[in-house]
Every structure is written in C-alpha cells, then in structure tokens.
Chain A
Amino acid sequence: MQRVLRISRQRASLAVALLLSATLVACFSEPERQPIGTTYPMPSQQASGNAGAPPSQSPSVPPPVIQSPPLQTNYPKTIQDSGVSSAALYLYKQAQAARAAGHADQALALLQRALHVDPRNAFIWQSLADTQLNLQQPDQAEAAAQKSSSLGRGNPYVDAGNWRIIAAARQAQGDTSGAMRAQAQADQSARALSASP
C-alpha cells in the first residue's frame, strides 16, 4: 500500500531523547533489574506469520511465566481457603466424587454449574482442566489450566497443579518439548513450595 505520511511538525526529538535515556539507564542499572517474564511475539511478526488465520489457535501466546513476584505466604492452599461460596464448594466436591467414580462427563456439568456460581475461582477452573484431560480434550484442558493460573494471580499452590496438567495436555497433543517445558515449570513450582515456609 502506498501511503504518504506528512506530519506537519516533527517532534521526534523528545522520543529519541527518551529512548536514548532508557538505553543509558539500562546500562547503569543493577543486574536484578533485568527484564524478566514473558516475551510476547511482536505484533508485526504475528501478522506476517499467519495472516488471516485466527491467531488465537496458535499456542504461541504462552501463559504468564510466574517467576518474578516474591512468594507470598497468604495464597490459599486449598479451595476451602479461597473464599469460595458454600454452594460452589458443594458442587466442586460433588464433581470430585463423580470424577473419582469415573463419571467425568457428570463432573464437567457440575463444575460448569459451580462456575456459574463462582466464575473466578482458580481451584474450580483447575478441576475443570483436570476433568477435560480425563475427557480427552487436551486443548481445552491446557486453556482452562492457563485460565486457572491467571485467576490465581501467582498462587503457587494452583500453579504447580496447572503446569502438571499443561504438561500432560501437551503430551497428549504430541507436543513433547512443550510438555517438557511445562513439566520443568511444574517442578520449579513444586520446589518453590517446598522451600517456602
């Protein structure tokens, strides 16, 4: 596409100066201030990479890598501590029982009903992911586990389980290296938990 851009007054100097300063600052900064966390694909790369195709299908957007926030001690360890309503807890327990009895289908219906009552509970989402794994829906299981981690906002007790589910889900989809990365994350979360008081 041909496009002529005419900006009447160039005021890029400030931006350049800012950029320069940022670079300089980066040089002077302490080592622990290195950027950590997720590296997202550049938008332009995404566009050229799969123009037209729904990009969301690509697992190229990884779940947030939980490294940076210091491990807090007040994260809920179990669903009972998570401020869940008694109604959602009741359904969650029924779902666990149904799953234990081999009725994953029933468990799924119960968990979805629980999510109608308590849509932002990380433990219920995790159980949903686990159930979807039972039902041979690994793509759904992986997404639900990611969602659980997001809602857990760094809760390591939830994350450890979610990485384990993601590892299994990727393995089931034939993504061995992805599964290994997830397993490494699971192990790391588990180590962090055992190290914390």
Chain B
Amino acid sequence: MARKIPSRRSSANQSGPWLNRLLVAGIVAASLALVAFAISLVKLDQDVRTRFAAVRWVLPAQIYAAPLELYPGAPISLAELKTELDRLGYRGADELYGPGSYVAGKNEIRIDLRAFNYWDGPRDERRIAVGGDAKGLGLVRVLGSDEKLDLVRLDPMLIGSIYPTRSGEDRVLVKLGEVPKLLPQTLVLVEDHGFYDHSGISIRGILRAAFANLRAGRTKEGASTITQQLVRNLFLTKAQTFKRKITEAFMSLLLERHVSKDDILEAYLNEVSLGQDGPRAVHGFGLASQFYFNKPINELQPQEVALLVAIVKGPSLYNPRRNPDLVLARRNLILKLMGDAGYIRPDEVEAAIASPLGVAKAGSGGAERYPGFVDLVRRQLNGLYKEEDLTNEGLRVFTTLDPRVQDALETRVVADLPELEKSRRLPADTLEAAGVVTSVEGGEVLAAVGGRDTRYEGFNRAIDAQRPIGSLAKPFLYLTALSDPDRFNLQTMLNDEPIDLKLPNGQIWSPKNYDHQLHGPTPLYMALAKSYNLPTVALGLQVGINPVRHTFSAAGFDNVPEVPSIFLGAIGMAPLDVAQIYSTLAAGGYETPLLAIREVLTKDGQPLSRYGFKVKQALPEGPVYLTTWAMRKVIELGTARWAASVLPPGQVFAGKTGTTEDMRDSWFAGFGADRVAVIWVGRDDNKPIGLDGAAGALRIWGRLMRDLHARGIDPLAPADVEEAAIDPQTGLRADQACGGSIVVPFMRGHVPEQYAACADAAKSGPLNWLKDIFK
C-alpha cells in the first residue's frame, strides 16, 4: 500500500508535463496535418483545374457514305427514295414535324431535310417535295414556294468511325446548346436532383444512401452527384476504395469552384458510358442517339430521351437490346417523373409510355454498318494520317460508298451462297465470297464485301484474300496482242493444239483446255469468249511474257511474276486488285487508282484533303475497245451465256469468267457503262468447291448487275477503230451476198482486204486467183 502512494503521487507529478507534451505534440501534429492537407488540397485544386482544362475528348474520325443526289430524272424510284430515307433515320409521318421527318404520298414525298455541313459548305434545314414514280424522280421543289430545285443532296449516312483499338472509345461530340432541353433536364431529375444546388457533393444524398445501405447490410445505393460521376470517369479509377471516394469528393468540390454547372453537364453528356458494341465502347449521348435510334440527338422524342437516361444507371444491365422489359419499365418510370416535374404534358406521357422501345437493330445503328468498306477507308487513310489523328481528332471523312450498291452486293452474297452450296451438295456455310463494285469513270469504290458474314470486322477477303485469278488474266494478254494490229486482230486464227513448255526449273508445263477437247483453229475473239487455254498460251508465246506483264502494270497491278503460266492467270490477286485492272478496261484504258475517299475535313469543317478524279491514259483506247468487244462475246456466246438470262435484254455487258485448278476459286469480273463488279467464291481452306466461274461467281455477278440496274456499254467505237462485215468461216470480208456474216471491229486501216468466196465483191475483185488458193 505504502509503496503505492508515492507511486501515485509521482505519477501525478509526472503526468502533468506528459499530458501537456502530448497536447502540444497533438496540436503540432494536427497543424502539420492541416498544413499538409492544405498543401495537398492546393495541389489537388491545381490538378483538377489543369486536368479539366486539358481534357481532350477521344474523337474518332467519322466516316460518311456518299450523299444521295436528288434531281429530276435521277434513276431512283419513289419507293427506293423512301427506303433511303428510312435508312438515314428519317421518320415517316402524316405531316412534317421537324428535321428528319417525311410524308410519303403516291406521287410525291415531302421531306424535312436535316441541316448538314458538307465539305463544300453547310446546308440549312429545308422542306422539299420530290415527285416521281416507279422509274425515277420528277420535279423537286421547295415546299411553300414555287421554287424548283435542279438538285439537292440528302445528308450522307454515318457508316463507321475509326476508334482507338485499345480503349474502343467511340463518341460523337455534342454541345449543350444543340441538345434538346429535355435531355439535360431529365438527366438531372433522375441522376442528381440537387445538381443546381449542391457544390459538388450532396450531404443529403450521402446520408440517404448510407441509411439505405445500413438497412440493406450492403452497398445498395450510391450517392454520387453528376459532378462526382464525371470526376470519377475523367480522372479516377472505378475502384470502390475509401481513399478514392474521399479524393473524388474533394475533387468534385474543387471542380465546382472553377467550372460552371453547364460545362460540367456538357462534359458529362459527352463522357458517360452508354453501351458496348463488340470492341467499341459507346460514350456520350451524341453517339448513343445514333447507336440506339439511328438519328441525330436533336431529333430525340421524349420516350427516347427517357430511354437513354434509363441506360445511364448501368449500360450493361440496362441494355435495351438484351433486357428490353427491364429497360421499358425504367423508361416508363422516368417518363412519369418527367410528367410530374412538368417537363412534358400528361397526354405526352401517356403517348410516350404507349410507344415501343423503338431501338434500331444491332448493327444498323448508324455506325459500324459496313466493316468491310470502313476497313478499306481506314487503310487508305493510314498512309496519309497518323493513327492518333484518326482516332482522336474528330476528322470527318466523306467516302465513295453508295449504300444502295453496298446493300445490293450484301444481299446477293448472303442469298446466293446457300443456293450455290445446295447446287453442289456442300454443307452449309462451306463457301466464302468477296466482292467489290466500282464506278467506271470515277474509279470510286461503291461497295466492298469481305465475306458472307457482312458485319464481321476481321479478315477482309475483298482486300486480303490473294487468290490465283485464272482466266480473269486472259483479257490482258489478248489486249497486249491486239495492241499490235500489224500482227493480230479479233479474227486472227489461233491454233488449238497441245503444248508442252519446259520451265526454268526443269518442269514441263502442259496446259489443257478446260473441257479437255481440241477445237481446231479458232478466231482470237472466240478463244477468249470460250476461254480456251491452248490458243491462249499459243498467243501468249507469240506476244511474250514481259509485254503482258507490262499491260497488267499499266492497268494498275505490278506484282505479276515472269512466268508463262501468267497467261492462264497464275497471279495472286485480291478482288480489289482485280477491280482495279478491270476498271481500267471499263474506262476505255484510262486508269484511275481506285479511291474510297472523297474528302477529309477537320472537326471544324476545314478541308484537309480532297481526292479528285485522277485519270491517266494507261492503255490505248482502240485495242481496249477490241478487247472489250471480245469480252462482250463472253456473255453473248461464250462461257458466261447464263448472264443473258438475268441481264436486261438489249443491253450489252462485258466480262470474264475465272476458274482455278481443281475448281478452288470461282471468279467473275465484268462491267457495263457505269459499274464494274468483281466476285470471288471459294473456301478459306482452299479446298475445291466444284464450281467454275460460270457456275459460281457469275450467278452472283449477273443478279447483282440486274439488281443495280447497271447500264449497258455504250457500243460506239472510238475514232481509231472501224468495223467491217466478216465471214466467220474464213475470217475474210463479207458483204450482202454472204449469209451469217458478223460485224467485227478492227484498228483503223487494218481491216482484212481479202473478200470471202461468198461475197459479190470477191467475184469482181482482182484477186480471185489468190482466193482459189484458200479453197
């Protein structure tokens, strides 16, 4: 006991200064902490300011299709125009109610055209009426006046974007002023009711959430304001840690000190994640409007605004394409809130609740519609711009894609491949196909399909599948020969006899005719029309390998090996390469490097580059005309006769079938006056498919040209070509006295002088004695 007292005293004596010291230390520590906190707050403040100022939206380049031109006489039926408007997200109605609406009548469609910034200047919203029928368009006039229009463009369709591959972040930037007021109103109403009153965080919200979570025993409700959500999305991770939440709260408070409510809201509208589309992340309401409703944001209706705001709660769970019932319930709840708040009238609430979700089909939602074509655009851009400029700078790229042509090509590939499989008893989904359609004079790629899954973004057979082209090569050999009119014309007789060639590697090459028959001496044009191999090789050996390679190169393809088998098409080419060289033929020998891009603009509409019609005369026009004449015979009487059954009668088309060894590849390439189309059918594992060019690719090509209403070739010969009646038996000149003569074009001055025996002229001519030799 006694020992305890002093000890107690002594402890009392010692505790006084110890406590004091503790107190002092505490105060010092607290002050230091406060100073440290203040410093960190100042730093954070600076950080928030600089980081917000430096926020640069990832703005993927936007890819547009070519706009449809409407003018009197345009070959578009009213029904097609209506389809086109639907595709662009225009809404049919009983009366025009704003941009993006149309009224379809029997002889006229009235349209409220959207405003649009074209590469050559802006076009304001305007109301027009377009007359027409099943054949084409008639009068185009401005509604409410007598003004007639010579032509007017529809706004071009957004067909894709070039987003960064790593983050997949895609977005269409919007300004608060361009957004219908209802959207920010509803967003604030649902997500952060006190947005305009709080200073970054909401104490009431935190307490309410804490209470709810306490009752539920788990994290059930968040209390994040719009500001906090924005701070988190822009600057922080999504980790649910205490430290992150504290930092977020302070950053939100600081952000509100420097940035106006409107700027915060605008940033939120552009940042918020609203869905996922494969590798692509849909950010912001601008893109979401396109992605879900296929229309620009200023055309959103109340129920659409409510739906997009419903998605904000959780884009994965509230995915209207996957959980439509859940989303519908939430949308309707939000509509009722909008009604209660007085943002829309009770009758509007009722009508909106009664309306369906109205979400566009996946894949048709504006962007990423044509991956095969967008891939081509991306490659052409890659050579010209840095990758980060394409993904971040919001470039606007206007392309050559014609959505009507693209749809026709896709439809044919999807519909015809199963039929071809059935015809050869192949298991379903065995065959693959690729196709390219270009314009004849402009060298523009109008459509490209990279496989039968036309939405697949991977391997693009139109550009990357290098397959031997078989007989598609023959026209370039024949053209080379016909360019030497002193030696060859379309009637030159070619031998159809066995050939054995010793190759440099010592192997013997013994080409055969496809039908394993010999046909005797054959006129040059007929050898091409019937695609005989032996006369072709015989011709090739007379012409030489290098001149033929030279012709390929002039037509637009350089990579041709120096071997005789190129005469029969042992050349690896992709459908796009074939389209290039056939385009040069179709354009009368004028080569235009195939283009997928017309214009590139900055996001502010400043022109960066324009890609014009660049032509050069690469191949002589007359011989090209003669070659094309022989290619017309391919369809008239040669290997592609089937096409005549589907092509419009009286119209002339030219083309060539291609088949490779053991029928591994089936090709057809051909053209009319305005369209070149190339189709490849084969297998990815390169196994035989049992289809030659005529039984496979030609089927797709013929129906495609029919569906496209492709125009036949203008048969007028160029000035350096003249025509003469020829007796097909002898290849000599004929006149009225000869039955069954044909008119054949020759290079001017190279028509055979000699008349056939049947001709009157021959009887009176001075050369009867010579003629007798041939009898």
Report if B119 contacts A (CB, 8 A): yes
| B773 CB contacts on chain A under 8 angstroms | 17
B611 to chain A minimum Cβ distance, whole angstroms, is: 10
B502 in contact with A40 (CB, 8 Å): no
A54 to chain B, nearest CB (A): 6
CB distance from B173 to the nearest CB of A (A): 26
Shortest Cβ gap from A125 to chain B (Å): 9
B543 adjacent to chain A (CB < 8 Å): yes
Q: Which of A58-113 contact B (CB under 8 A)?
A: 61, 63-69, 85-87, 89-91, 106, 108-110, 112-113
Determine the chain A residues whose CB is within 8 A of the CB of B440 once the complex forms: 119
CB-based contact B442/A21 at 8 Å = no
Are B613 and A128 interface neighbours, CB within 8 A? yes
Q: A69-B719, A150-B718 in contact; A36/B749 too (CB < 8 A)?
A: yes
- A115–B674 CA distance with the chains assembled, in angstroms: 12
A47 near B541: Cβ-Cβ < 8 Å = no
Let me know if B442 and A115 touch, CB within 8 A.
Answer: yes
Q: Looking at the complex, which one of A48, A57, A117, A139 makes contact with B71 (CB distance below 8 Å)?
A: A117
Q: Which residues of A contact B441 (CB under 8 A)?
A: 115, 119-120
B617 touching A63, Cβ below 8 Å: yes
Of the listed stretches B225-233, B490-498, B688-696, chain A binds: B490-498
Judging by beta carbons under 8 Å apart, are A85 and B73 in contact?
A: yes
- Does B439 make an interface contact (CB < 8 A)? yes
Q: Do B720 and A65 touch (CB < 8 A)?
A: yes
Q: Do A3 and B151 touch (CB < 8 A)?
A: no
Q: How far does the Cβ of A144 sit from chain B's closest Cβ, in whole Å?
A: 6
* Chain A residues in 8 Å Cβ range of B483: 40, 43
Q: Mark A128-147, 1 if CB is under 8 A from B, else 0.
A: 10000000000110011011
Inter-chain contact B439/A35, CB cutoff 8 Å: no
Q: Are A28 and B71 in contact (CB under 8 A)?
A: no
B717 and chain A: residue at smallest CB distance: A153
A84 vs B651: C-alpha distance in the bound complex, in angstroms? 21
CB distance from A170 to the nearest CB of B (A): 14
With A37-B747, A117-B69 known as contacts, the answer to whether A64 contacts B720 (CB < 8 A) is yes
Closest to A15 in B: B493
A90 to chain B: closest CB distance in Å?
4
Q: How far is the CA of A109 from the CA of B119 in the complex (A)?
A: 9
Chain B proximity mask over A22-48: 1 for CB below 8 Å, otherwise 0:
101110110001111110101110111
Q: Shortest distance in angstroms between A35's beta carbon and chain B's nearest beta carbon?
A: 3
Number of A-B residue pairs at CB separation under 8 A: 205
Interface check A161, CB cutoff 8 A: no
Give the residues in chain A near B541, CB-CB below 8 Å: 5
Q: Which residue of the partner chain, among A1, A2, A26, A153, contacts B716 with CB atoms under 8 Å?
A: A153
A47/B550 in contact, CB under 8 A:
yes
Q: Flag the segment in B350-358, B620-628, B658-666 that touches A.
A: B620-628
22 A-B Cβ contacts within 8 A?
A1-B545, A1-B562, A4-B502, A9-B497, A35-B748, A37-B747, A40-B620, A40-B622, A43-B484, A43-B547, A54-B553, A55-B553, A56-B591, A56-B619, A65-B719, A86-B73, A86-B150, A87-B71, A90-B151, A120-B441, A143-B617, A146-B617
Can you name 17 extra interface pairs (CB under 8 A) apart from A5-B541, A7-B495, A33-B753?
A: A1-B504, A2-B502, A4-B502, A5-B499, A11-B521, A21-B774, A35-B749, A36-B749, A37-B622, A47-B547, A54-B558, A65-B720, A87-B73, A113-B120, A116-B66, A120-B441, A147-B590
A-B complex: 7 closest residue pairs judged by Cβ atoms: A35-B749, A43-B547, A25-B753, A56-B618, A87-B71, A90-B150, A119-B441
Q: Which B residues form the contact surface with A (CB < 8 A)?
A: 66, 69, 71-74, 119-120, 150-151, 439-442, 480, 483-485, 493, 495, 497-504, 521, 538, 541, 543-551, 553-554, 558, 562, 564, 588-591, 610, 612-623, 673-674, 714, 716, 718-720, 722, 747-750, 752-754, 766-767, 770, 773-774
